[in-house]
A and B are shown apart, each in its own frame.
Chain A
Amino acid sequence: MTDRGTDQYRQVFRLYPYAKLPDQQSALPVRHPVVVVGAGPVGLAVALDLSRQGVPVLLLDEAEGPGIGSRALCFAKRTLEICDRLGAAEAMVAKGVEWNLGKVFHDDRLLYEFNLLPESGHAFPAFINLQQPWFEKFLHDAIRAAQADGAPIRIRGRNRVEAVTPAGDHVSVEISTPDGPYHVEADWLIACDGARSPVRHMLGLGFEGRVFEDNFLIADVRMKGDFPTERWFWFEPHFKSGDSALLHRQPDDIWRIDFQLGWNIDRDKELEPANIRARVDAMLGPDVEYELDWCSIYTFQCRRMEKFRHDRVIFAGDSAHQLSPFGARGANSGIQDADNLCWKLKLVLEGVAPDTLLDSYEAERIQAADENILHSTRSTDFITPKSPVSRLFRNAVLDLAEQLPFARGMVNSGRLSTPCIHDGSALNGPDHSAMPRRSRPGSPCPDAPVEAGWLLRQLGPGFTLMTIDAEAPETLSAHGLTVARLALTARGNEALRERYLGKAASAVYLIRPDRHIAARWKSFDESAIGAALARAIARE
């Protein structure tokens, strides 16, 4: 998203105030194993994940906390599961808003309602609405907690990266601060510096894709009334605010309203409070009292870098791929980038895995980015038809949706972010045909209730050998790794049976540190598991 508001750098929380450090006066640049650029959601998650695994991280940001800007709002289940592994999810869920009921309008007609009715037997809801600054604050709180436990992480606010120079076995980084410039060296540099990524520009790398000729006005309004906690989406709204409008709830009595304004608009005029209020009044009706909390106009694009890894510089989140807001795929996919990258980088830094393991980060996350861009583009084309015939069919779908359930399946106001299944990944090992498709190699582990609580919380920080009604040793060592066993039974546990066993009587799953499934068998076979482990760390 390209934010055109004026106050995007207004700070919400001051989390990491600038402080002068000895590095800045060092005659020789200090070498760091990992430097992360940008303390947004992705940079914070990368730094937290690596440091919790014992990898020293230096996290740099030009500000001292999250700005207000045009921001992520919906955080999906997979993101919450990842944040739970990082120790940050409980606070997010406690603060966030859950909703299940959505309403879809065309003009002034209610076409239909839908209830998300998420599958039961998961620790986390399908998603929550939470303002991005809070999401960042909770990740930052988890970083402070990890630091107190000895995690080697340093965050430096008002440290702006000015130059990045690849130098063979390291990357040289020039940083400016209120006390002047200094240099550091990084074995690896992770660029999480957003859609306009200065690091990407410094390296002269392209960012190709499609620009959508549209402007969106976001208005966050504070309402005390009894407005229901539902998501309302209008196609061609009767209050004449362009092709679409969206209303949904955030914490603290704040509601997010999106108005699609079209391409040729007078931005300054649209941002005048009186004009914004006229739109909001028309949407909410004359009797609803509210205050404007924050407003901005943005445009958006769907694009990605051709490669996410450039030797020792790795891009993650919006710096690598940019999406439309429909489907809440930006921050959610960025957190999955972090999840995918960190265990691989740790194994490479430890010398356990070859650095080609990082190429699988690129392959898997480009697969995910392309999937997200496809969904995001389809939503955009449905919401804003690009030709008269496209509009004709779109409106035909909306006409039918009022009466016919099949047409509701075609109504696309954004498909909720779901994690990518890495079919065909070079890291995947053997599959077993009697077991369910949803947990095939490459899939993220579906959560399930187990005797000790939730399945995902039983998985350790490394590789796990999960056995269901199957024998196996308690630990297994191979290729420099120790794999811990998680022994479960599906007796009396229908969710576990349905999600992992299918028609098989028993199962042995090799699970990656990012809780994606590497391989699965009916029973324990040490040499097969050793081979799959080698494959999963690119040693084959």
Chain B
Amino acid sequence: MLNTDPNLPDPDEAYARLIAAHDGLSEAESHAMNARLVLILMNHIGDRTVLDEALRLAREGAGS
């Protein structure tokens, strides 16, 4: 099951690290990095039902 409870020990710091990881990249490079990140995290999760739930949640956030 997808964990949507708060799970990051320091959310402010985690967020800042995500943004910092994109420092100095063009928009296209950032998109490419995000795509690689998604693939790496997908593989780590592995479980199909968890991924389906995450995809659904993310899609709902896009307003459709």
Q: Chain A residues in contact with chain B, CB under 8 A?
A: 392-393, 395-397, 399-400, 404, 406-407, 410
Contacts and interface: CB of A to CB of B under 8 A. Distances in A.
19 contacts: A392-B31, A392-B32, A392-B35, A393-B35, A393-B38, A393-B39, A395-B35, A396-B35, A396-B36, A396-B38, A396-B39, A397-B39, A399-B32, A399-B36, A400-B39, A404-B40, A406-B43, A407-B39, A407-B43
Contacts of B40: 400, 404
Contacts of A399: 32, 36
Interface of B: 31-32, 35-36, 38-40, 43
Query: Which 8 A/B pairs are nearest by Cβ-Cβ distance?
Result: A396-B35, A406-B43, A396-B36, A392-B35, A393-B35, A396-B39, A400-B36, A392-B31
A397 B38 CA distance: 10
B32 A395 contact: yes
Contacts of A397: 39
A157 to B, nearest CB: 53
Contacts of A410: 39
A392 B34 CA distance: 10
Nearest to A393: B35
A410 B32 CA distance: 16
Contacts of A396: 32, 35-36, 38-39
A399 B36 CA distance: 8
A51 B38 CA distance: 56
Contacts of A393: 35, 38-39
Contacts of B39: 393, 396-397, 400, 407, 410
A393 B40 CA distance: 12
A399 B39 CA distance: 11
B2 to A, nearest CB: 20
A396 B33 CA distance: 8
Contacts of A404: 40
Contacts of B36: 396, 399-400
Given A392-B32, A396-B32, A407-B39, 15 more contacts: A392-B31, A392-B35, A393-B35, A393-B38, A395-B32, A395-B35, A396-B35, A396-B36, A396-B39, A397-B39, A399-B36, A400-B36, A400-B39, A400-B40, A406-B43
Contacts of B31: 392
A404 B31 CA distance: 20
Please indicate which of the listed interface residues B31, B32, B35 has the most CB atoms of chain A within 10 Å of its own CB.
B35
A410 B43 CA distance: 11
A245 B36 CA distance: 24
B41 to A, nearest CB: 11
A404 B36 CA distance: 11
A524 B64 CA distance: 58
Please indicate which of the listed interface residues B31, B38, B39, B40 has the most CB atoms of chain A within 10 Å of its own CB.
B39
A15 to B, nearest CB: 50
Nearest to A405: B43
Contacts of B35: 392-393, 395-396
A392 B40 CA distance: 14
B28 to A, nearest CB: 9
Nearest to A399: B36
A395 B40 CA distance: 14
B3 to A, nearest CB: 22
Contacts of A392: 31-32, 35
Nearest to A397: B39
Contacts of B38: 393, 396
Please indicate which of the listed interface residues A395, A396, A407 has the most CB atoms of chain B within 10 Å of its own CB.
A396
B43 to A, nearest CB: 4
A404 B40 CA distance: 9
A411 to B, nearest CB: 12
A354 to B, nearest CB: 41
Nearest to B31: A392
A400 B39 CA distance: 9
Contacts of B32: 392, 395-396, 399
A393 B31 CA distance: 9
B17 to A, nearest CB: 20
A368 B48 CA distance: 24
A397 B31 CA distance: 13
A498 B40 CA distance: 34
